Homo-oligomer: A and B are copies of this chain.
Amino acid sequence: MTATLYVCTTCKVGEVHEDDSQRPGARLHRALTSAPAPDGVQIVGVACLSACKTGAAVALSQPGKWTYVYGQMTEDNAPDILEGAALYAASEDGIVPWRERPVIFRKQSVARVPALTLPLEAAP
């Protein structure tokens, strides 16, 4: 099973560019995909994560695990994001021990959502 790192490619972060490929979200996506993805991680660009107030945003998701959204990411954060994504992929439930998380993941959480586990789906 593969963890997915979603990257919002349209995040503007208040910048104005005639060329959409120069948006901070698009630049972050390029920085994250400039080298092979970590084991167990696929990187997927998304047109909008609706986190415009806290862009540039990324999200980590995998069946059976908590989903996490992080904001105010920049190209310079790409190595930390990839490290955090690898730890997420290697975790059992998506919850990486606090001290092991990259500092940007500790400080720039936008939201997390529980896994859609069978017991919850089966609830009335």
A contacts, CB < 8 Å to B: 1-2, 4, 6, 42, 44, 46, 48-52, 54, 57, 59, 61-63, 67-69, 71, 109-114, 116, 120-121, 123-124
Contact = CB atoms under 8 A, between A and B. Distances in A.
A114 B2 contact: no
Contacts of A54: 110-111
For chain A, what secondary structure do more than half of its interface residues adopt (helix, strand, loop), or is it mixed?
mixed
Nearest to A55: B111
Contact of A120 (B44, B52, B110): B44
A46 to B, nearest CB: 6
A48 B2 CA distance: 25
Given A67-B67, A69-B69, A51 B111 contact: yes
A113 B42 contact: no
Most buried by B among A42, A68, A69: A69
